[in-house]
């Protein structure tokens, strides 16, 4: 079954280092808690708010062994007034036997306010 695995985080600043670091942390947690094997990932969408433009957050995924051939795409979030700034969101499309209810969605940093009803804040 194909499932969506969601997560979000915030970068501390609009620098390559801060954006890649925040994205790596989020991806690492999503992969770990959902036991994601890149061989079972159909694609990954990564979006960022307008104030993030120093680097493509998707570049962070290439730092993970075995993820070289996983299709990944970056896109811009809609510029909604009063929305969370410096926000990076991830949607992984994963083939898994987990039920929809058992998929763990991860929200780190200031993004923990986005979906408190279903997200898990798993900051180290």
Reported as a single tens digit per residue, the pLDDT across 35-77 is 999 999 999 999 999 999 999 999 999 999 999 999 999 999 9
Beta bridge pairs of residue 26? none
Q: Is the pLDDT of residue 122 over 70?
A: no
User: What are the backbone dihedrals phi and psi of residue 114, each rounded to the nearest 5 degrees, phi first?
Assistant: -70, -45
Interacting residues of 72 by C-beta distance below 8 A, sequence separation 6+: 43, 44, 45, 46, 58, 61
Domain range for 11 is: 2-120
What three-state secondary structure class fits 102? helix
Give yes or no: 74 in active site: yes
Q: What's 113's domain CATH number?
A: 3.30.1330.40
Pick from 30, 65, 33: nearest CA to 46: 30
Q: Catalytic pick from 32, 76, 89, 101?
A: 89
Give yes or no: 3 in active site: no
Number of domains the chain is built from: 1
Q: Catalytic pick from 62, 76, 87, 123?
A: 62
Give yes or no: 24 in active site: no
Pick from 98, 101, 100, 123: nearest CA to 110: 123
Give yes or no: 115 in active site: yes
Q: Catalytic pick from 74, 76, 101, 123?
A: 74
pTM for this predicted structure:
0.93
Q: Is the pLDDT of residue 14 over 60?
A: yes
Give yes or no: 87 in active site: no
């Amino acid at each position: 079954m194909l499932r969506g695995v969601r997560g979000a985080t915030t970068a501390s600043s609009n620098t390559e280092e801060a954006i890649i670091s925040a994205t790596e942390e989020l991806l690492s947690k999503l992969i770990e808690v959902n036991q994601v094997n890149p061989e079972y990932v159909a694609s990954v969408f990564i979006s960022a708010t307008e104030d993030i433009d120093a680097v493509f957050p998707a570049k962070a995924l290439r730092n993970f062994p075995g993820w070289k051939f996983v299709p990944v795409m970056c896109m811009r979030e809609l510029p909604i007034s009063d929305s969370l700034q410096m926000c990076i969101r991830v949607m992984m499309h994963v083939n898994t036997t987990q039920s929809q209810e058992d998929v763990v969605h991860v929200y780190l940093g200031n993004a923990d306010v986005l979906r408190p009803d279903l997200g898990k804040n798993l900051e180290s």
